Amino acid sequence: MAARTSTESGDKLLESTRERILAAALHLLNTSGRDALTTRAVAEAAGVQPPVIYRHFRDKAGMLEALAEHGFARYLARKQQRRTQRDPVEALRRGWDEHVQFGLEHPMLYLLMYAEPRDGAPSGAAALAFSMLRKSMALVAAAGRLKVAEEHAVSVYHAAAVGVVLFLLNSPKDARDLTVSRMMRETSLAAITTSAGDRLPESPGLNAAVTLRAVLNQGELFSEAEWALLREWLSRIIKQETPGA
């Protein structure tokens, strides 16, 4: 029992130290920018010796990765407390606005998430944001409101939102025009979704296949082999019906 208590105390101390380091790094990032995040500066701000940084993070890159995830987790905790939107397309619209707001309120953290070179691999925080968008888009597909393939809709909407934030961040604060964000949001939604009253989509085969694939993803009606075959058939229909595919 004493050994377990000692281990638990040690784990809590390690976690507390890690959180203190990340909090100090986030403060430096917000107040002094990306270049201020040297190992020595972060260690001094956190009240630890530089070698402690390396015990908690493999290197500076590991610390930056953890920092992006730490900062984004705080944003998610705030976001998840809000009321769920029943209309899945309206949820996409609200998600866009929250994404833009987060980027403008936390520019250094946003750039760390989306503009830090990573050899093509997204940060853990950016990957989490992308997975949340996929879940939201799946609800749109299940409601029969997508007019393009689900994965294509996710990529288009995500790329447009990130592009808008980076554009706004590169504009002087007093010259930022949020009308650009609203116009890009509505243009993107018009490109991938149907209106609530639209009963005759331009490509009914595509609409039906996208919807069916999304709905069946939520159930267990088929064996693994049956589902693989059905998914292949639906994917063929989606590919054939998608304009420009």
46 in a structural domain = yes
* Region class of 176: left (phi > 0), else alpha (psi between -120 and 50), else beta: beta
Q: Contact 69/80 with Cβ under 8 angstroms?
A: no
- Domain housing 48: 13-67
Looking up residue 38, the CATH number of its domain turns out to be: 1.10.10.60
**Phi, psi (rounded to 5 degrees) for 193:** -125, 160
Distance of CA 56 to the CA centre of its chain: 25
105 in a structural domain = no
Q: Which of 183, 76, 180 is nearest to 135 (CA)?
A: 76
35 in a structural domain = yes
242 in a structural domain = no
Per-residue pLDDT, 211 = 66
54 in a structural domain = yes
149 in a structural domain = no
In one-letter notation, the amino acid at residue 3 is A
62 in a structural domain = yes
Each of the 245 residues of the chain gets a pLDDT tens digit; together they read: 544 444 444 445 557 888 899 989 988 998 888 888 888 999 999 999 988 888 888 888 888 888 888 877 877 776 665 556 678 999 999 999 999 999 998 899 888 888 876 666 677 777 888 888 999 998 998 888 988 888 889 999 999 999 999 999 999 988 899 999 999 999 999 999 987 655 444 555 666 666 666 666 655 666 777 767 766 766 776 666 665 55
Specify the number of domains making up the chain: 1
Q: Which of 73, 60, 58, 51 is nearest to 28 (CA)?
A: 60
23 in a structural domain = yes
* Whole-Å CA distances, 198 to 137, 144, 189, 233, 241: 18, 10, 14, 26, 18
